[in-house]
Chains A and B, each alone.
Chain A
Amino acid sequence: MTLARRILACVETESARLKSGPQDHRGDSGDPAELAGHLCQEGADELVVIETRAAQGGRTAFLELVRRLAAQLPIPLTAGGGIHSIADARAVLRAGADRVMVNSAAVRAPQLIDELSAEFGAESLVLAVDARRVADAWEVFFRGGQEATGRDAVAWAREGSERGAGEILVTALDRKGTRDGYDTALTAAVSAQVSVPVTASGGAGTPDDFLAAFTEGRADAAMAASIFHHGDVSIRNLKQYLDSRGVLVRI
């Protein structure tokens, strides 16, 4: 009896509609809730929904989407996007999310992590760390990956876990959307420094990429978005493959 490695399905939204962008090859597929239901059926262990326009008026629609998703999904839901305060987090959790994710707001004010953890429990809080490789290390970028912080990503992840984040989501911005594989060196470096679960994100393209995330990358969970949405990788087949390669997964 041990914890299974988790496969997380990510859905990015713009004012609660599916987001389309340069890295999404086929555009808006419609209602996020319909997609979420499909991903759950396919065997996703958790759904992560990220609202990219919370600060630009998307918050109310997003809360409504969280409510609908939470009502419909019998698997855990993590929600993020524009969470800057205990009040923001409470609204998202009360809407039905099991966990909230913070990113830029925590970079600007790290004590937010301590406050959210004290209020809602470490198990309700994920710190998203967006990183770009710089020489031999990785630097934290925030505000949607646009702005450099000068901060070391691995050290920031460690600080976040010590302040009370119950999980670290590590995104390799350089890999995001490329389908060239996760940055396993990054996740392994973070895993070595933190005592909380680590989720790999950015670059998944094939089932072998997930295998690498769990082996070389030492990740506890691996997240992907568009490859799951459009059926390029079936979560069901992925889990069968991982199982056949000796990775403990929920099937």
Chain B
Amino acid sequence: MRITLIDVGATNLPSVERAFQHLGAATERATVPEQIAAATALVLPGAGRLGAVMRALDAQQLLEPIREALARKTPFLGIGPGMHALYEASDEEPPQAGFAVFAGHVLPLPENAQCPHLGWNQLQQVRPGRLLRGLSEKAWFYFAHTAAAPAAQESPATSRRVLEMRPSGAKAVEHPASSVAVCRHGGAFVAAAEIEKVFAVQFRPEKSGDAGLDVLRNFLEAAR
């Protein structure tokens, strides 16, 4: 089982790498298109804004290889901004388009919520999925972020500025099929999502103790 970590300088890549190695997976760091094309399982870790991540992917000419890998249904895990990349777009300043595997937008956290969302929180599973298989509802995960994809069951508490950016007539964000678990901070947001073999987590699995390792182990299982 070889995990290909897409490397555009994300500061948390070494920790993610270490976690997969701890679970017995072989890992490699991919910086060129050929490595993405040859990968059998891809992970996109990230820190910071989606805009910076997508610009870095573009600079290394990795956008198209990733699109192709997703089209080929290569197992894929996005973490943090790596998750945001899988949505249609992030409206966090500056706005940035993503790969549009999951429907909807990522928005800045609601104004009534402490920002960043920083610390240990719990999830509510909203539909069965492979990523959280076997995990207790009481499990704690570490979050450190300033934006997230709002959950389907509540209208996002968006700031006025974000609403203005939306094309007129656009309705509230919908995440019909991809949301597996939500977390609440200000409002409910997607904490884990999956469609077929594309998985995404808002929390930092490599820094979430044993529960985080269980999630990564589930990804390894699903990626076989």
Contact = CB atoms under 8 A, between A and B. Distances in A.
Interface of A: 1-4, 6, 45, 67, 70-71, 74-76, 90, 93-99, 119-124, 166-167, 195-197, 220-221, 250
Contacts of B120: 3-4, 6, 45, 250
Given A121-B49, A122-B116, A196-B114, A1 B121 contact: yes
Given A74-B212, A76-B204, 5 more contacts: A4-B120, A70-B15, A121-B48, A122-B146, A220-B118
Interface string B102-128: 000000000000111111111110000
B68 interface: no
Contact of A195 (B114, B121, B145, B204): B114
Given A6-B119, A71-B18, A124 B209 contact: no
A6 B122 CA distance: 14
B29 interface: no
Q: Closest 10 A-B residue pairs measured CB to CB?
A: A93-B11, A123-B116, A123-B144, A121-B48, A250-B140, A250-B120, A4-B120, A166-B116, A3-B119, A1-B184
Contacts of A119: 48
Contact of B114 (A4, A6, A197): A197
A126 B117 CA distance: 14
A76 B49 contact: no
Interface of B: 9, 11-12, 14-15, 18-19, 47-49, 114-124, 140, 142, 144-146, 183-185, 204, 206-210, 212-213
B140 A4 contact: yes
B118 A166 contact: yes
Dominant secondary structure of chain B at its interface with chain A: mixed
A71 B12 CA distance: 11
B115 A98 contact: no
A162 to B, nearest CB: 12
Given A75-B142, A96-B15, A123-B144, A3 B47 contact: no
Given A94-B11, A98-B144, A124-B11, A74 B115 contact: no
A237 B145 CA distance: 30
Contacts of A1: 121-124, 183-184
Point out which of A90, A123, A167, A195 has the most chain B C-beta atoms below 10 A from its C-beta: A123
Contacts of B116: 121-123, 166-167, 196-197
28 contacts: A1-B122, A2-B184, A6-B120, A45-B119, A45-B120, A70-B18, A71-B15, A74-B19, A74-B206, A74-B212, A75-B207, A76-B207, A95-B14, A96-B14, A119-B48, A120-B11, A121-B48, A121-B116, A121-B146, A122-B116, A123-B116, A124-B47, A166-B118, A167-B118, A196-B116, A197-B118, A220-B118, A250-B120
Given A70-B14, A74-B206, A76-B142, A195 B115 contact: yes
Point out which of B11, B114, B146 has the most chain A C-beta atoms below 10 A from its C-beta: B11
